[in-house]
Chains A and B, each alone.
Chain A
């Protein structure tokens, strides 16, 4: 997946959740047991200086919040060569880039409707709508 998506960072596997997922307290006993989506920033000295942990598999942190947390460390910028272009190897379930914007638009409409119908989840729905708007904007900037 690193080459497929031309990622500029390593992907580490903690298949039995024993080395990082449980020690960092992000294990979730739902859906057969999975890691909660989470972001932890470890400072240069090895201290944990930021942590965000999802309530469940559907939560995502806003990208701007991650950037702000990193900026708050006040570290000098690091120049890093961009990752080499990978060769796309879409699997059977891959969604074409052109489908992403309408996909997120549909998810947005569903969240709007949920928030209207169920006032008790309005704040949660509004946050999800904002998330979908960010994803739609990102999808629009992707090269097709």
Chain B
């Protein structure tokens, strides 16, 4: 199921730096040598 309003043409993915589970920074643009699968989820519960 896809939210039609979320459809958009190919764009440069916004770069970001976030903290991983060990407290280290993880930056999207450091991974240009590979494809990256980003999965957004609400977190643990």
Contact = CB atoms under 8 A, between A and B. Distances in A.
A55 interface: yes
- Chain B's interface size range is 35 or more
- Chain A's interface size range is 35 or more
Nearest to A18: B16
B10 A49 contact: yes
Contacts of A19: 16-18
Contacts, number: 114
A48 B37 CA distance: 10
A73 B36 CA distance: 11
Given A11-B21, A93-B45, A24 B38 contact: yes
A87 B43 CA distance: 20
Given A26-B6, A34-B42, A41 B36 contact: yes
A38 B5 CA distance: 13
Contacts of A41: 35-38
A78 interface: yes
Contacts of A139: none
B22 to A, nearest CB: 8
Contacts of B32: 44-46
B41 A35 contact: yes
Interface string B1-20: 11100111011111111111
Interface of A: 1-2, 10-14, 19-21, 23-26, 34-49, 51-55, 57, 59, 66, 70, 73, 75, 78, 93, 124, 127
21 contacts: A2-B21, A11-B20, A12-B18, A13-B19, A13-B43, A14-B16, A23-B16, A34-B42, A38-B38, A41-B35, A41-B38, A42-B31, A42-B35, A44-B32, A46-B15, A49-B35, A53-B3, A59-B1, A70-B37, A124-B1, A127-B1
